[in-house]
Amino acid sequence: MSKKKRQSSGLWRFVFLLYIALLLLLLFYREKAVINGASYTESLKQNFIWKPFYTIKNYMYVILHNPDSPYYRHCFINIVGNIVMFIPVGVLFPKSSPRARTFFRYIGSSLFFVLLVETVQLFTLRGVFDTGDIILNGIGLTLGFIIYKCFFRK
């Protein structure tokens, strides 16, 4: 590998790690999600949403049928944000790691990272483990990889 190519790869790796650090800060720098003084175990139960499209369906209902709702902004940001914040991973991860340049290796590693983040959010009570978030993050990861394949691969 040429010196210029190694420097470029190192730069992409640095940008990717910086993005991941900012993403983790965004996902974990918040108050604990303890509900009404519940115990740790009760909070875990309340912060675990296993039904795959439960949250997505409810948020989409508010977005499509109730735009005057005080929850409209929250629903919109949750749906769009969970997709958009993972699109850069789809470009940066394959650019920084040659092993992540095939879709199945990339998506496997990326979804493992998303599952890890959701699990840590649950057990630290810094968020909710929501299978809907995993689905939306997966859409963002896939869109990012498509962008990488169309515009950035060489």
Contact between residue 8 and residue 96 where contact means Cβ atoms under 8 Å apart: no
Q: Which residues of the chain have pLDDT under 70?
A: 1-8, 32-35, 154
Tell me the whole-structure pTM to 2 decimals: 0.89
Contact between residue 119 and residue 25 where contact means Cβ atoms under 8 Å apart: no
Provide the 8-state DSSP code for 47: T
pLDDT at residue 2, as a whole number:
62
The upper half-sphere exposure of residue 9, i.e. CA atoms within 13 Å in the direction of its Cβ, equals 12
Amino acid at 120: V
Which residue is it, tokens 């939306």? 136
pLDDT at residue 31, as a whole number:
72
